[in-house]
Structure 1
Amino acid sequence: MTDIQGIIVVICIAAVILNLPFGYLRRFTRRFSLAWFACIHIPIVFIAIIRISTHTPWAFAPLFLALGIMGQIIGHRLPIGQKE
């Protein structure tokens, strides 16, 4: 595995993990509110900073975005604190 491949794998994992708690928090916000908007967009900024600081090509941005959306969906569906 080359250096760039390793960096891409790390950013992919970070995209999912960073979005999990924000997806979970989004569950408790009113749709289209400022808090809802923040829960969706704050992790994108962090992933963009990581991508830019590692000089990862723009071609991988859609992959990171898709994995961020996946992290949001998984986080939103986490059964933490729910009684059965």
Structure 2
Amino acid sequence: MTIVLVALAVFVLNIPFGYLRSKHKKFSFMWWLYIHIPVPFVVLLRIYSDIGFAFYTYPILIGAFFAGQLIGRLYFPIKCKK
């Protein structure tokens, strides 16, 4: 049950970052930052929730990470700056 709650938190945390990432040109510095800023929060969630760093947790949390980024980008589309 804990892994499900952590995955849900990771998913929700990444939605605004996916939205912000869609506002910037691909592979720009800000685009790169909006992908990598949530990573320390995901690591802290892993530590404080006691799920640890077991191998089976990686696909679940990476999937939640990228799904949150994707939902933020798709449901709040803004054209890139040129």
TM-score range, shorter chain: 0.7 to 0.9
Aligned residues: 77
CA distance in 1 between counterparts of 2:5 and 2:11 reads: 10
- Extract structure 1 runs of 4+ deviating beyond 4 A: none
Post-superposition offset of 1:30: 1.4
The structure with the largest helix share of the pair is 1
TM-score normalized by structure 2?
0.81
- Unpaired segments ≥5 residues, structure 1: none
CA distance in 2 between counterparts of 1:41 and 1:62 reads: 17
User: What residue in structure 2 maps to residue 76 of structure 1?
Assistant: 73
Post-superposition offset of 1:61: 2.4
CA distance in 1 between counterparts of 2:7 and 2:63 reads: 9
Post-superposition offset of 1:62: 2.4
Report the aligned-residue RMSD. Answer: 1.9
Larger radius of gyration: 1
Post-superposition offset of 1:43: 1.3
TM-score normalized by structure 1?
0.79
- Unpaired segments ≥5 residues, structure 2: none
Q: Give me the identity figure in percent.
A: 34
